[in-house]
Amino acid sequence: MKPAKTDPRRDFASASLPRHLARGALGFGSLVLAVVLLPYAWPVGLALLPVGLIALRGCPMCWTLGLVQTVSRGRLQRSCEDGRCTLTPSA
């Protein structure tokens, strides 16, 4: 039986955990800095908003989902039989 393929459009994982954490630091840092700078330098603050959203791939929840996928990649095996899918630890 072949393992089920994941749809790449639903995959938010990064190639490695350090890369994913760096994306998170850039994304969350940009969003926080954008909010802090809005009253003082609003053009810079507005310019930082898309940077943060692109780094997080859309939203903080998308980044969190990607973190879970990155950590679990290679540790869990998904298999589907008779319309029922299960997750089992990889051997």
**Domain chopping of the chain, boundaries:** 15-80
Ramachandran category for residue 2: left, alpha or beta (phi over 0 → left; psi -120 to 50 → alpha): beta
pLDDT at 33: 95
Residue of 66, 64, 31, 78 whose CA lies nearest to 50:
31
Model confidence pLDDT, tens digit, residues 29-47: 999 999 999 999 999 999 9
Q: Are strands 84-89 and 76-81 parallel, antiparallel or unpaired?
A: antiparallel
- The predicted model scores a pTM of 0.68
* Average pLDDT of the chain, as a whole number: 83
Could you give the residue ranges of the DSSP H alpha helices within the chain? 17-37, 42-55, 60-72
Question: Which of helix, strand or coil describes residue 37?
Answer: helix
Dump pLDDT digits (tens) for 8-25. 556 777 888 899 999 999
